[in-house]
Amino acid sequence: MGKDASKRHQRNRRQRRYIFHNDEYGNDTRIHLVYYYKDKDVILASDGPFFDESRAIKKMKEHLLKGRCAWMVVYNE
């Protein structure tokens, strides 16, 4: 990783948040997030949360068809 990419990575790392609060759904509810890298910058982004697995898979495939690196993560499985 080059010097500029390393600085961007450190800056983006500080901006990340992984907290999801929703009183409507319990802690045992499956939540799907789709992570992907944006086209021009090496920035990790996410879509979701999705409560329906098929919608998360569809969104992941949309990113993959655009040539982006994308994957889905399931929480509370």
Domain count, the chain: 1
40 falls within a domain: yes
pLDDT computed for residue 17 by the predictor:
47
54 falls within a domain: yes
8 falls within a domain: no
Query: Tokens for 29?
Result: 């509810």
pLDDT computed for residue 77 by the predictor:
73
> Residue 24's domain spans which residues?
18-75
Contact residues for 53 (Cβ-Cβ < 8 A; gap 6+) = 30, 32, 74
Whether the model pTM is above 0.75: no
Each residue's pLDDT expressed in tens, for the chain with a length of 77 residues: 555 555 555 555 555 444 555 566 666 788 899 999 987 777 899 998 999 999 999 999 999 999 999 999 998 87
31 falls within a domain: yes
pLDDT computed for residue 38 by the predictor:
84
